[in-house]
Amino acid sequence: MTALLSVQGLRKAYPGVVANDDVSFTVGKGEVHALLGENGAGKSTLVKMVYGLVKPDEGQMIFNDGAYTPGSPHEARSTGIAMVFQHFSLFEALDVAENVALGMENPPPMRELAASIREVSETYGLPLDPSRLVGDLSAGERQRVEIIRCLLQDPKLLIMDEPTSVLTPQEVDILFETLRKLQAEGTSILYISHKLEEIRALCDGATILRLGKVVGSCDPREKSARELAEMMVGTELKSPAATRHELGDVALTLKNLSVNSSNPFGTSLKNVSFDVREGEVLGIGGVAGNGQDELLGALSGELKSVSDAVQLGGKPIGHLGPNQRRQLGVLAAPEERLGHAAAPDMSLVENAALSAWVRMGMVRNGFIDWAMARNFAEKVIDDYDVRTPGSANAARALSGGNLQKFVIGREILQKPNILIVNQPTWGVDASAAAAIRQAILDLAAGGAAVVCISQDLDELMEISNRFAALNEGRLSEPRPAQGLTIDEIGLMMGGAHGMEVAHIHEEEGAS
Amino acid sequence: MIRLEKRPTPSQTWAYLTPLVAVVATMIAGGILFAFLDKDPVVAIRTIFWDPIFGEFAFYYRGQLLVKAGPLILIAIGLSLGFKAGIWNIGAEGQYIMGAIFGAAVGLAFYPMEARWLIFPLMILAGAFGGFLWAMIPGILKTRFNTNEILVSLLLVYVAESILASMSLGLLRNPEGAGFPGSRNLRQYESAANNELIAGWGMHWGVVAAFIAVIFAYILLSRHIMGFNIRLTGESPRAARFAGVNPNRLILFCLGLSGALAGLAGMFEVAGPAGQISIDFNVGYGFTAIIVAFLGRLHPIGILLAGMLMALTYIGGEAAQASLGLPAAAIQAFQGMLLFFLLAFDVLTNFRVRFGREAAV
C-alpha cells in the first residue's frame, strides 16, 4: 500500500503542556487508520494539525508525495482532506441542502445540490432527505449531513473524530457500511476513537498515542481489545468486579413522570416509569439529547413534578427541591462537570460545600463552617485519588477525569440512599473510568439504589442489573441487563433513527 | 501585532492592580481633556486629588469626604451583592429618592412633636422600606414575567424623579415656605435631624450605616450560606440551581436589599446634608455608586476605598469648578472615564497581551 499521508516528527506545545511530541505515522491509500488513545492523549491536537486548524511547532507532513503545510482548513479541504467533527456545526433552522451549501466555497444552485445530495446519500447508503429541517433530525442524521457535506468534496482523506458517540448500534452499522464502501473506492480514513471493538472491526492499522507520544502501532485485527487497551493506558486494566448481593426493597419509584424541559431545545419527559431496588443499578441508555438531562433534573429536584410521580420508598417527593431531596438521601451527579456539577472558578472546598452542606451539616445558623468543608474536600481528594495540588485550587484547573472523580466522590461520601449519575465516565481516561465504575458498584453493594444514565453501552452492560433506554423523552420497559443482545438494545434506543420513520408511522396508523 | 492570549486562570495580581492602573490612566486622559479646555492639567489634577486632603482648605473638605462617601458606599454595597449574582439593579437612584421621600414624610408627619427616640428610628425604617418597595417592582416583574430588571429599574428612576417633583411642590411642601417648592428643613427639627456626630468630621448616622454595611456584606459573602449562594449564582447559574438555590428568591433578596440600602442612603441624606425634599434633591449618587461598586471589585473593602476615591473626585471637582472654572460636565466625564478605563484594563485579568508575529494558535 502506498502512503497517502505521512506525518513525521510533529510537535505541538501549549503553555504548560506538550500536546504532541515527535509524532510520526503513515496512512496508506485506501487504508482505514485508527488513532487510538485516552482522553488527553493528544489525538484531537494531532488531527487539528492535519486539518490546518493548528500549526505544528516542529515536524512535517507529506501528502500525496508533496510537502503539505496547511495554513487553514480551507487549504486542507482543497488539498483533499475533509473532517467530520464530534460536535456538529449545523444550523437547526435551515434545511439539509442549505446547511450543505453553507459549507461550500461555490455552492451550485439549490436544485442541483439537492440532486447531488440525494445521489451521494443513495450511493453510500446514508438515507437523508435534503429538504428536511436540520432541527428535526436525530443526532445520527445530523452526522450524515456532515458526512455528505464532506463526501461532496470528493476527499482523498476523511478524518472522523469519535463518530459513533452519538449513534445507536444500528446507526453504527450503517456508518460502517458507508466507510467500507468509501474505502473500497480508494478513500483513506483517519478514524479517531477510544472504542476498541469498533476499531478492531473497522480499521486496517492503528497508531496508539499516550500523553502526546506514539507508544506503538499495530494491526488492530490481530490484537485483542484488552491488549489494545493496555497499550493505550500503559498499565494492566482492572475490570470492575461486581459482587453478588441480594436486592432489597423498592427504593425509588417513578410513576408516569412527565415534565417539560426548561430548555427550549430540550426534550420533555413523557410518562416515564420505573422502579429501582436497594442494591440495584438501573442503567439508562439512549442517544444524547433524548431526555437524559431532564431525567437527571427531575430526579435531583432541579425540575419539579407532580409529587406522586417521584416516590422515595412510597413517599411522594416530586414537589421537593434539590436540598430537601438531599436531606432524604437522594443525591445526583450531573453530566456537565464544569458549570453544573461544579462552579468552574470556585475552589474545591467551595465546590465540596456546593452539594454537601445540607447532608454533612456544614451550615449552622446560616453560617458555613469552612474548616469542615475543607476537611470534607480533602477527604474526597484522598479517597478518590483526585490529582490536584490542593483543595484551594479552582475546579476548572483540574483535568476532566480528576474533576469527575471529585464530583462522584463528593456524592458517594455523603452516603446516599439513592444516587443518580449522568455520564459518570464521559471524557474520563480508562483507569479513572474503571475507578468510578468500581465506586458505583461498591455503593450499590452497600445497599444504595443507583440510576446510571450513560451513552456508553459497554459501561451500562458492565455495571447494570437492569437496562432501559430513553428515546425522545420516553423510557422503554427496563429489562435485565444480562443476556440482552446488542440488537435488542439498539431497538430499545429507537433503532436506526430516520430509517424506520415510515415503519413507525404505519404502526401508529394501525393502532 | 498585538494579540490577547487567554490566561489559564485569572490573574490575581491584575485583579487588584487594575483599579490603580485605571485611576492613573484616568488622571492622564483627564489631564489631556483639561488641557484642551485650556486649563493647566497638573494644576487641575492637583486641585481634584491633592488639595481637598492636604491643601489650604483641607479642614473643610476632609469633612465633606465622608458626607459624600457615606451614601456612595452604602448604595454600592447593596448593588455589589446583586452584581455578584448577575442581577443588575441600575435604578438605585430611584430607590434613593423613594427612601428619602418615605423617610422625610414620616418625619414631617410627626412635626412638631419632639420624640427623637421614636421618630428617627421610624424614619430609618421608612427610608429602607421606601427603597425596598421601589426595588421590588423590577424584582416582581422579573420573577413573574421575566422582564429585564436593567430597563425596569432604570426607567423607574424617572418615575421617582417625577414623584419627587410632585412631592416638593405638593404634599410635602413647607406650609410656611411662602409658596417656594421644597419641604420643611429636617435639620432644624431636632427629632428628625441627622446631623454630624462629631463636629467637622462629616460623620453622620448614614456614614455609620455605611461602615456597618461594609462589615455586614463582608461577613455575608465570606461566611454565610446566602453570600455563598450569591457568589455561586454569579459564577454559574446552573450549578446554583443544582445546589438548591431558588433563583427567584435570590433575585428578590438582592434587589430588595440593594433597594433598602439605597433608600437608607436617601433618608440619611434628606435628614442630614440635604435637609429637605426638593426638586433637585438627587445628585446622581445612585448612578455613581455603580462605578464605585465596580471600582471596588464588588468587594466590600474595595468598595469602601473606591467610595472614598469617588467622593474625592466629587469634592475636588467642585473645588476645580470654583477655583479653575472647569465645567461640571468635565468632572462627570472624568468619573465616566474612570469606569471606562477600569473595564478596559479588566481585560488584563483574564488575558495576557502578546506582542509580535502571530504564532501558531
Residues A18-42: pLDDT tens digits? Answer: 888 899 999 999 999 999 887 667 8
pLDDT of residue B311: 92
Which residues have a Cβ under 8 Å from the Cβ of A186 and sit 6 or more positions away? A29, A30
The rounded mean pLDDT for chain A is 86
Lowest-pLDDT range of A169-183, A226-240, A372-386: A226-240
pLDDT of residue A238: 62
Q: Which of B9, B239, B361 sits opposite A343 (nearest CB)?
A: B239
pLDDT of residue A105: 75
Rounded to the nearest angstrom, the minimum Cα separation between B289 and chain A is: 26
Looking at residue B312, which CATH number applies to its domain?
1.10.3470
In a domain, B23, yes or no: no
Q: Using a CB–CB cutoff of 8 Å, tell me whether B15 touches chain A.
A: no
Mutate to test the interface with B, among A20, A51, A304, A368 (most CBs of B within 10 A): A368
Q: Using a CB–CB cutoff of 8 Å, tell me whether A54 touches chain B.
A: yes
SS3 string, A114-134, reads HHHHHHHHHHCCCCCCCCCEH
Q: What is the ipTM of this complex?
A: 0.84
Contact between residue A46 and residue A209 where contact means Cβ atoms under 8 Å apart:
yes
pLDDT bucket at B90, cuts 50 / 70 / 90: very high
Does B236 contact A301 at a Cβ distance shorter than 8 Å? no
pLDDT tops 90 at residue A265: no
Does B242 contact A322 at a Cβ distance shorter than 8 Å? yes
In a domain, B155, yes or no: yes
pLDDT of residue A388: 83
pLDDT of residue A1: 62
Before B138, cis peptide (omega within 30)?
no
**Percent of chain B surpassing pLDDT 90:** 60
Does B235 contact A54 at a Cβ distance shorter than 8 Å? no
Does B239 contact A339 at a Cβ distance shorter than 8 Å? yes
pLDDT tops 60 at residue A501: no
Determine the residue of chain A that is closest to B361 in CA distance.
Answer: A54
pLDDT of residue B361: 38
Contact between residue B253 and residue B74 where contact means Cβ atoms under 8 Å apart:
no
pLDDT of residue A310: 95
Cα distance from N-terminal residue to C-terminal residue, chain A: 56
C-alpha cell at A251: 427504593
Mutate to test the interface with B, among A354, A357, A406 (most CBs of B within 10 A): A354
pLDDT of residue A509: 41
**Average pLDDT, integer, range A257-268:** 82
In a domain, B29, yes or no: no
Cβ–Cβ pairs < 8 A, chains A and B: 76
Determine the residue of chain B that is closest to A370 in CA distance.
Answer: B223
pLDDT of residue A132: 87
pLDDT tops 50 at residue A260: yes
For residues A454 and B284, what is the distance between their CA atoms, to the nearest angstrom?
A: 55
pLDDT tops 50 at residue B11: yes
pLDDT tops 80 at residue A502: no
Lowest-pLDDT range of A289-303, A365-379, A386-400, A431-445: A386-400
In a domain, B68, yes or no: yes
The rounded mean pLDDT for chain B is 90
**Average pLDDT, integer, range B328-344:** 85
Q: Using a CB–CB cutoff of 8 Å, tell me whether B148 touches chain A.
A: no
Structural domains in chain A plus CATH codes: 3-233 (3.40.50.300), 250-341+417-506 (3.40.50.300)
Burial label, A242 (beta-carbon count in 10 A; 0-12, 13-18, 19+): middle
Residues in chain B with CB shorter than 8 Å from the CB of A326 are 244
For residues A494 and B192, what is the distance between their CA atoms, to the nearest angstrom?
A: 75
**Average pLDDT, integer, range B240-264:** 96
Q: Which of A300, A326, A366 sits opposite B225 (nearest CB)?
A: A366
For residues B146 and B262, what is the distance between their CA atoms, to the nearest angstrom?
A: 24
Q: Which of A54, A341, A363 sits opposite B225 (nearest CB)?
A: A363
Does B223 contact A370 at a Cβ distance shorter than 8 Å? yes
pLDDT tops 60 at residue B121: yes
Task: Show the domain range for B147.
Answer: 38-326
pLDDT tops 80 at residue B136: yes
pLDDT of residue B359: 45
**Average pLDDT, integer, range A213-235:** 83
pLDDT of residue B357: 54
pLDDT tops 80 at residue A237: no
Does B232 contact A343 at a Cβ distance shorter than 8 Å? yes
Residues in chain B with CB shorter than 8 Å from the CB of A15 are 8
pLDDT of residue A504: 36
For residues B148 and B230, what is the distance between their CA atoms, to the nearest angstrom?
A: 19
pLDDT of residue A506: 39
pLDDT of residue A507: 41
In a domain, B352, yes or no: no
C-alpha cell at A98: 442549505
How many other CB atoms sit within 10 Å of the CB of residue A264?
Answer: 5
**Average pLDDT, integer, range A419-428:** 88
Determine the residue of chain B that is closest to A367 in CA distance.
Answer: B224
Q: Per residue in B26-63, pLDDT tens?
A: 999 999 998 998 888 899 888 888 888 888 778 888 88
**Percent of chain A surpassing pLDDT 90:** 39
pLDDT of residue A242: 62
Q: Which of A358, A368, A396 sits opposite B224 (nearest CB)?
A: A368
Give the best-scoring range by mean pLDDT among A253-267, A269-283, A417-431. A269-283
pLDDT tops 80 at residue B300: yes
Strand-pair partners of A331: A419
Number of compact structural domains in chain B: 1
User: In degrees rounded to 5, what are phi and psi of residue B352?
Assistant: -110, 140
| Spatial CA neighbour of B95 closest among B274, B234, B290, B227 | B290
pLDDT of residue A220: 87
For residues A206 and A8, what is the distance between their CA atoms, to the nearest angstrom?
A: 16
pLDDT tops 70 at residue A503: no
pLDDT bucket at B200, cuts 50 / 70 / 90: confident
pLDDT of residue A273: 94
In a domain, B195, yes or no: yes
**Average pLDDT, integer, range A393-409:** 87
pLDDT bucket at A157, cuts 50 / 70 / 90: very high
In a domain, B16, yes or no: no
How many other CB atoms sit within 10 Å of the CB of residue B198?
Answer: 9
Rounded to the nearest angstrom, the minimum Cα separation between A341 and chain B is: 6
Q: Using a CB–CB cutoff of 8 Å, tell me whether A56 touches chain B.
A: yes
Q: Using a CB–CB cutoff of 8 Å, tell me whether A12 touches chain B.
A: yes
Contact between residue A144 and residue A163 where contact means Cβ atoms under 8 Å apart:
no
**Average pLDDT, integer, range A317-321:** 94
Mutate to test the interface with B, among A299, A340, A420 (most CBs of B within 10 A): A340
Q: Using a CB–CB cutoff of 8 Å, tell me whether B232 touches chain A.
A: yes
Instruction: Give the DSSP H/E element, type plus range, for residue A58.
Output: strand A58-63
In a domain, B199, yes or no: yes
